[in-house]
């Protein structure tokens, strides 16, 4: 019995050892111990940036440790969907995917799956990104600008899209030297008024021009004709005038003796019914939004009409005075001029005309009879244009 047990134990140990060897052999034949076949990406497709309308080419290079492989390729879009040949796509099941006339719709991530069709080989994947740049578009146009002469006129554009964007500004269709950024600024002169300005945007994805904007250069007032002083006849109207240039609207303000004259706001100041109080120093200040110009100050004197006539060189005298039959009227005119010489009463009524015609320059005498006139006080009056001069005529018997 004891020997039998020993024999059984020996057989059992041998069986266990045999089973263990058989298990090891089977394990060596399992896939875990077989060579694993894989695909390796040797050259992945490169990320690309292109302009709309161009052609994109994505290429992959792969290898495998499987003998005599028959490769398979499948390109996937950004959502993981297989791409089919047709339309813009070709080569969707080859190692090179071509996308023609690319647009924003084709931008995104692309994946290629590389496998082997004639064996159990683990596939490999590679990813590339396609960035599509649209052509340049002006999103903010340059605006018209109005400035005063000597100020800076500035314009700018804003652009979306484009690749390697460059700028060139033009004035009246001529390139502005050095104006190669998205904005331009220039110190203005009067000659720049009406300048037409635009920007051309150039990029690797095309070019576009902005709208044209206009530069308006306004000028400060400049007095081109100064007001003139003189003598204003009492009781009459008198005008002082200035002429000025500059951008409209021009505003005027007249001053007398340093004080602004209420309502005197045009290029001509009119004094109606001149009095002695209107004599003084006058000037005008011309303004607009770009500046101010002040005229010279002029002196205006107030005088009677006869004072003006005398100042102009006219003279009138009657002799003898008093008279009873005949008088001699002596008239002096500074130049040849049309004139009348009359006798009036104290109410201003004309009683007779001594002369009506052209006076030669210098002194002239006229004799007239007053024998038919009643004794009393009269006046002899000389009139020539704007001038008037009178002298007393006394008749006695």
C-alpha span between 363 and 336 (Å, rounded): 11
The dotted CATH code for 39-133 is 2.60.40.10
3-state secondary structure 113-167: EEEECCCCCECEEEEEEEEEECCCEEEECCCCEEEECCCEEEEECEEECCCCCEE
pLDDT on residue 284: 99
Report the percent of the chain where pLDDT is more than 70. 91
As annotated, the residues of the chain forming the CATH 2.60.40.1930 domain(s) are: 305-395
pLDDT: is 16 or 272 the higher one? 272
Under CATH, to which class is 137-218 assigned?
mainly beta
Mapping DSSP to helix (H, G, I), strand (E, B) and coil, where does residue 111 land? Answer: strand
Closest CA to 75 of 61, 88, 60: 60
Residue 165 has pLDDT above 70, yes or no: yes
As annotated, the residues of the chain forming the CATH 2.60.40.10 domain(s) are: 39-133, 137-218, 222-303
Residue 63 has pLDDT above 70, yes or no: yes
C-alpha span between 283 and 257 (Å, rounded): 8
pLDDT on residue 14: 31
CB-count burial class (<10 Å; 0-12, 13-18, 19+) for 339:
buried
Q: What is the mean pLDDT of residues 26-55?
A: 78
Q: Pick left, alpha or beta for residue 4 (phi over 0 → left; psi -120 to 50 → alpha; otherwise beta).
A: alpha
305-395 folds as Immunoglobulin-like (2.60.40)
Q: What is the mean pLDDT of residues 260-284?
A: 97
pLDDT on residue 35: 66
Residue 386 has pLDDT above 50, yes or no: yes
Give me the chain's average pLDDT, please: 90
pLDDT: is 208 or 25 the higher one? 208
DSSP states along 219-238? ---EEEE----EEEETTS-E
Residue 33 has pLDDT above 60, yes or no: no
Query: What's the CATH architecture for 222-303?
Result: Sandwich (2.60)
C-alpha span between 149 and 218 (Å, rounded): 6
Secondary structure letter of residue 191 according to DSSP: G
> pLDDT class for 126, splitting at 50, 70, 90?
very high
- Sign of the alpha-carbon torsion through 174, 175, 177, 178: positive
Strand order across the 376-384 sheet: 350-359, 337-344, 376-384, 387-395
Residue entry with tokens 């006129």: 153
pLDDT in tens, 170-226: 999 999 999 999 999 999 999 999 999 999 999 999 999 999 999 999 999 999 999
C-alpha span between 264 and 248 (Å, rounded): 18
Closest CA to 392 of 340, 327, 314: 327
pLDDT on residue 22: 28
Report the percent of the chain where pLDDT is more than 90. 83
C-alpha span between 181 and 275 (Å, rounded): 67
Strands 376-384 and 337-344, sheet pairing: antiparallel
Q: What is the mean pLDDT of residues 386-391?
A: 87
């Amino acid at each position: 019995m004891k020997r039998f047990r020993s024999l059984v134990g020996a057989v059992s140990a041998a069986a266990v050892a045999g089973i263990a060897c058989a298990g090891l052999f089977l394990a060596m034949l399992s896939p875990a111990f077989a060579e694993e076949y894989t695909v390796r990406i040797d050259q992945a497709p490169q990320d690309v940036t292109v302009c709309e309308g161009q052609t994109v080419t994505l290429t992959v290079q792969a290898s495998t440790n499987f003998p005599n492989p028959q490769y398979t390729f499948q390109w996937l879009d950004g959502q993981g969907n297989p791409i089919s040949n047709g339309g813009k796509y070709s080569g969707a099941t080859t190692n090179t995917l071509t996308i023609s006339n690319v647009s924003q719709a084709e931008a995104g991530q692309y994946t290629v799956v590389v496998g082997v069709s004639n064996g159990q080989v683990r596939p490999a994947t590679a990813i590339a990104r396609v960035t599509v740049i649209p052509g340049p578009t002006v999103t903010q146009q340059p605006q018209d600008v109005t400035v005063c002469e000597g100020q800076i006129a500035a314009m700018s554009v804003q652009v979306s899209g484009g690749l390697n964007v460059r700028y060139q500004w033009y004035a009246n269709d001529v390139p502005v030297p050095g104006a190669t950024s998205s904005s331009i600024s220039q110190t203005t002169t009067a000659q720049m008024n009406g300048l037409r300005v635009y920007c051309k945007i150039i990029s690797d994805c095309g070019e576009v021009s902005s709208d044209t904007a206009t530069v308006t250069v306004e000028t400060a007032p400049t007095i081109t004709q100064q007001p003139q002083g003189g003598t204003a006849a009492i009781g009459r109207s008198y005008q002082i005038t200035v002429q000025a240039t500059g951008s409209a609207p021009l505003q005027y303000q007249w001053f007398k003796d340093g004080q602004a004259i209420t309502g005197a706001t045009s290029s001509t100041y009119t004094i109606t019914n001149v009095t002695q109080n209107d004599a003084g120093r006058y000037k005008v200040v011309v303004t607009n939004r770009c500046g101010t110009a002040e005229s010279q100050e002029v002196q205006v004197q107030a005088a009677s009409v006869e004072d003006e006539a005398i100042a102009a060189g006219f003279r009138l005298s009657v002799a003898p005075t008093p008279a009873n039959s005949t008088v001699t009227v002596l008239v002096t005119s500074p130049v040849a001029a049309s004139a009348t010489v009359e006798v009036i009463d104290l109410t201003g009524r004309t009683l007779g005309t001594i002369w009506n015609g052209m006076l030669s320059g210098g002194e002239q005498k006229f004799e007239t009879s007053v024998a038919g006139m009643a004794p009393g006080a009269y006046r002899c009056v000389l009139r020539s244009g704007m001038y008037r001069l009178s002298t007393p005529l006394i008749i006695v018997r």
